Every structure is written in structure tokens, then in C-alpha cells.
Amino acid sequence: MTAATANFAPHNVAAHLTALARSQPDTPALLCLQGFDAAGKVTYAPYCYRHLEERSNALAHGLGLLGITRGTRTALCLRPGIWFFAVTFALFKLGAVPVLIDPGIGLKNFGRCLSQAQPAAFIGTPLAHLLRRTLGWARQTVRINVTTERFGGHALRAIQARGEQESAKALPITTPDDPAAILFTSGSTGPAKGVLYTHANFTAQVAALRDLYHIQPGEIDLATFPLFGLFGPALGMTTVIPVMDFTRPGQVEPRNILEPIRQLQITNLFGSPALLQRVGQWGAQQGIKLPTLRRVISAGAPVPAKVIERFSTMLAPDAQIFTPYGATEALPVCSIGSHEILTATRHLTDQGQGVCVGRPVGGATVRVITITDDPIPTWTDDLLLPQGQIGEIVVQGPAVTTAYYDRPEATHLAKIPDPRGGFYHRMGDVGYFDATGRLWFCGRKSHRVRLPGGDLFTIPVEAIFNTHPKVYRTALVGVSIHHAHGSQSMGQCAPTGTPRPAPPNSLPSVESNRAAGSMPESGSIRPVLCVELQPEAARADRATLRAELAALAARYPHTQMIKDFLFHPGFPVDIRHNAKIGREKLALWAAEKLT
């Protein structure tokens, strides 16, 4: 392959790849599925940093000839592999704006996201193009179609070949504030929104992850979440693409994760809580050890301590499972390791004090403010709550994104302009700081159950019941009681001004609910606990379980008012990580059950 010139600004996030192609050109950047050997073991095709750099350069020049240039929004629908990585870095180098949507979000929602992003170009597999044509995805805006094969538009191989002849030409120059990508949220707590990333945001993320977890060039990463896997080549790691359905990490075949870790001496693993639950359970039962893993990073939802504990049995004593706190709009915000979780914070979590997500990372300013569902026009220190009191979590820093694409109302609601410069992003979560400066997560703001005596927050409530050995997980929902109509439905209809409880020293969640042990009256919100049992407990006597859960509820002031326990066969979860519980759907289900 002929080397093409990478003439773009050094602050472009793709500059990391160029620098590594010079410093470690022959180190594999990617190991992609090639096939299976005679024994049935997976074989991998290596692509070194020089190859990825040259291929992405050639693609950048070739795509530029098609009219994809600086600022061109380009929908990317490729399977994880060499084309996915090469095309993404090519678009970065062009200053184009890749639009990245989780394919598991569903065809209808996928189409809605494309309509919102209004891409001018579409790069995808033949199947993606077939769906684009059949379903009319972004029909009004897409004018350039590119495919991995001949079907659907211009073929990538031909584009790459043409680009290799254009190596003398310069690529566009980008600035730190130029749009770098649009990443869509999972849509697990509302309509999916396109988060607008700049090159400065990505560069800050790369630096934060490298410094936070001491990631070194030459490490080997198993990428079970493709978007996070893009950080691998920027951090100097070899990224291994495992055999799995990336839209269903909770259903992964454990051997397909554990075998490459041992075979390829993987040092870094990013996995959703659902993946860690499935792989850790099987691996621990088999007595498997993973001595080469230096760290496991898990995000997307709180990771239960029992999942961390089980997976840790496979790791070396000095290896840790880290659970960074953040969101598509801001990551990382805080981080904590398994050593601290298992020795210090898990017991407080089990007592209903929330999930500790650690201390703010370098460069991030994290605050807890008064809860409100309304926009906040400007920052003032009067918003701040004292240490120990639950409020809304906000963050400021270089890795925090500035806006949602073409969603000014959502941006206005999510950002608080700071008169001193910059802005705070509202995480949509509630929590508090303890006396040592650690942040404790207490759930989504929109999931709080609003009662006359104060708000109930999901995580502190659910943790009490999650300690039951037959319980896999629980979900607190609010059901609105309408006796006049003889039915119940989901609702959060307490007035915005409902006083929130000030947390006591022992339980930081619901002081004012100490007197709320009786059932809410007609017309108010009724707290209901949905329960998913461990598989082996599926046939357990429900009456006995209800009595045991009710006894647990009676022990804590903030759970005494919960009288309804509904057993669900399997909670709905988000597509991206298979870990965030679909509480809105559960609330509707609970309302029907209580009718």
C-alpha cells in the first residue's frame, strides 16, 4: 500500500494514530476475526499501526473525491472490523462528522436518529443499504452512498485505491472546536439524542482515560463495545475484536471472551455489567484464571458488588475492576476501583446509601445542586447543596460535550451557562458527596418516586432488597392511583415544589419519609417494587418471598412505605449495555398488575 500524507492539525483526534504509526509502526493496531483453525479455535488477521494509518489516509483522500469533506455528516453503519476503524479515522482526518448509532436500538428508532442527524453521506454494509432503501432512511438528505461491496453505492476498496493516487494533496485543517462526531444516546430514559462531540472533547477523553488507568502503548484490549474500542488505536493498544453479537452483550458466549483473553494475553477489557455478570458467573464456576488482565473497565449502569466480587476471583491480586461514572455526554466524570468497592463501599450500598462512583477525575469539576426539572438559565453558587444531601449531579470539564445536534431545547435543558466561563452539564442523575469527597449515585432524576413526604430514589431503595439471596435485581417504580376510574397508571404527579428529604447521617436518602410508612391515599403516587429473581429461584414460593421482602422493607425508614412486591420474569433493559432497566415499561406493567 502506498503511504498517503496525513496533513491535518495535530489536535485532530486522529493525530494520535499518526503519532503511533511513527513510534510503533509494526505493532498490531487491530486483530480482527479471520476464521477458525482445524481445532475450531478463532484465528485473527493482524493490522499494524502503519497499515491502519495508511489505509485511513487513502480512504480520507478517496472519500474527499466523492464530496465528503470538512463538516459532512456521514452515517456509519459498518460491523466492527478493519473497515469500521479505518473509515472512522478517515472521517476524522477529513474533518467530516461520523454519525454513530447503536444498531441494536431498533429499526424504527434507527431511522428516527438518522432523520434527526440529517446525514449527507451513508457508509454501510449491503444489508444496511438495503434497509436504507426499503425504509427510506434519511432519504431527503443522503446524496453519497458508500458500501463495503458493490451493492448500494461506491465500493470502499475502489475508493481506497483512488485515494492512494492522491497522497500529494493536503487534507482539511480542523480546529479543536470543530465537530468531530455525533454519538447517539441509548434512548433508555427518553428519545435518543445526538451528542455533538468536538475534536477537543475526544482529545480530552483520550488523555483522561490514559492518565486515569495508566494505559500504556503496547497493551492489548478486548473491545466488547465497538465505540469504546475506538480509543484503543488512539491509546497505543492492540484492539481485539471478539466473536459476539455486540447488540446483546448480556447473552455473550463466555468462552468467546475468556479464550481470547488467555490466548492473546489481553491486558485490558471493557465490558458492560451484563457481560461481566454472564462471563464472571461461568468463568468462576470453571475455576478460570486471567493473570494477564491488568484492569477491567465496566460502565453503562451500576455494577453490583456481587458481580464485581465474582469476576475478581479470576483476576490477579493487583488487577482491578474499575467502574467509571459518566454518560455519552460526559465521560469519564468519576471512577472507583474494585479494591475500594469490596472493602469499603459495598456494605454502605447494601444499607441503602447509594452506589459509590468514586472521586472526580482530573479536569472534571463535579457539583451537586438542588433538584429541579426546569431549565436553569445561569449558574449561581446558591444552587449548591451541602455535603451529604442528595441533589442533581452536574459536571464541567474539557471532556464534557457542549450540545445535542439540532436539539436546542434539549441543550437548553441540559446545560447551565457559567458566568465565569463555560457551562455545567446536568447529568440527569441524583447523588451526594460524602465527607471524603466521594460521589454516591442514587439513580436517575426522572426515576425518582415523588411522595407527599419526600422523594424516593431508586438505587438506595433497591439495594436493600438486592441483598436477598434469591433476588437478581429490583426496580422501584411509581404508580398513580385513580380509584375514581378503577385503574392505575405510571406517573410522577407530585408538585415540583415537593420538599426533598434532608439525609440523616446513617441513610442519606429519605429522612422525611420516616413518617411515611402508611400507604399513599387515593390520587397519589404508590411506590411499587418490581422483582426479578435469580434463575435458580424461579420456582420459589412467592408468598414466602413477599413476606421476606416486606420484612426487609420494615427495617429501614426509607423503605417502610413499600407494600407492593411484583415478580417479573425478566426486566426490559437498554440495547447498548443490556444493563439499564427500562423502568418506564416496568411502571406500565406494574400498573396493569395492580388494576
* Residue 291 confidence (pLDDT) above 50: yes
Question: pLDDT value at position 247?
Answer: 86
Question: pLDDT value at position 525?
Answer: 86
Dihedral through CA 228, CA 231, CA 236, CA 237, nearest 10? 10
CA distance 350 to 327: 24
Average of pLDDT values for 508-528?
51
Looking at per-residue confidence, does 539 or 495 come out higher? Answer: 539
pLDDT digit string, tens, across residues 441-452:
999 999 999 998
* Residue 277 confidence (pLDDT) above 50: yes
Question: pLDDT value at position 191?
Answer: 84
Question: pLDDT value at position 536?
Answer: 93
pLDDT digit string, tens, across residues 534-559:
999 999 999 999 999 999 999 999 99
* Residue 488 confidence (pLDDT) above 60: no
* Residue 346 confidence (pLDDT) above 70: yes
* Residue 493 confidence (pLDDT) above 50: no
564's CB contacts (< 8 A; 6+ apart) are 526, 527, 528, 529, 590, 594
366's CB contacts (< 8 A; 6+ apart) are 333, 334, 360, 393, 394, 395, 439
Question: pLDDT value at position 172?
Answer: 87
CA distance 275 to 262: 17
* Residue 480 confidence (pLDDT) above 90: no
Cell of 24: 510503533
pLDDT digit string, tens, across residues 371-400:
999 999 999 999 999 999 999 999 999 999
* Residue 514 confidence (pLDDT) above 50: no
Question: pLDDT value at position 153?
Answer: 81
* Residue 472 confidence (pLDDT) above 80: yes
Strand partners, 454: 451
Q: Is the separation of the CB atoms in 155 and 129 below 8 Å?
A: no
* Residue 317 confidence (pLDDT) above 90: yes
Give the least confident one: 7-21, 232-246, 334-348: 7-21
How does strand 28-36 pair with strand 238-240?
parallel
Question: pLDDT value at position 577?
Answer: 66
Average of pLDDT values for 258-287?
96
Nearest C-alpha neighbor of 213 from the set 352, 307, 321:
321
Mind listing the domains of the chain with CATH numbers? 19-46+60-174 (3.40.50.980), 450-594 (3.30.300.30)
Average of pLDDT values for 299-321?
94
Cell of 56: 485511513
HSE (side-chain half, CA atoms, 13 Å) at 492: 19
* Residue 151 confidence (pLDDT) above 70: yes
Rounded CA Rg of the chain? 25
Strand partners, 482: 487
Task: Cell 434527526: give the residue.
Answer: 116
* Residue 503 confidence (pLDDT) above 50: no
pLDDT digit string, tens, across residues 228-254:
899 999 999 999 999 999 988 999 999
CA distance 333 to 331: 5
* Residue 6 confidence (pLDDT) above 60: no
Cell of 515: 413518617
CA distance 155 to 427: 41
Question: pLDDT value at position 7?
Answer: 52
Q: Is the separation of the CB atoms in 428 and 189 below 8 Å?
A: yes
pLDDT-above-90 percentage for the chain: 80
Question: pLDDT value at position 386?
Answer: 98
* Residue 490 confidence (pLDDT) above 60: no
Give the least confident one: 145-159, 252-266, 435-449: 145-159
Average of pLDDT values for 138-155?
90
Task: Cell 475468556: give the residue.
Answer: 258
Q: Is the separation of the CB atoms in 431 and 368 below 8 Å?
A: yes
Across the beta sheet with 403-404, what order do the strands follow? 154-155, 144-147, 121-124, 73-77, 97-100, 179-184, 194-198, 403-404
pLDDT digit string, tens, across residues 181-230:
999 987 766 789 999 999 999 999 999 999 999 999 999 999 999 888 99
* Residue 3 confidence (pLDDT) above 70: no
CA distance 193 to 116: 8
Q: Amino acid letter at 103?
A: P
Question: pLDDT value at position 168?
Answer: 72
Question: pLDDT value at position 269?
Answer: 98
pLDDT tier at 171 (50, 70, 90 boundaries)?
A: confident
Look over the chain and give the mean of its residue pLDDT values, rounded to a whole number: 90
pLDDT digit string, tens, across residues 50-59:
999 999 999 9
Average of pLDDT values for 126-147?
95
473 three-class SS? strand
Question: pLDDT value at position 106?
Answer: 83
pLDDT digit string, tens, across residues 73-87:
999 999 999 999 999
pLDDT tier at 494 (50, 70, 90 boundaries)?
A: very low
Average of pLDDT values for 119-145?
96
* Residue 409 confidence (pLDDT) above 80: yes
pLDDT tier at 507 (50, 70, 90 boundaries)?
A: low
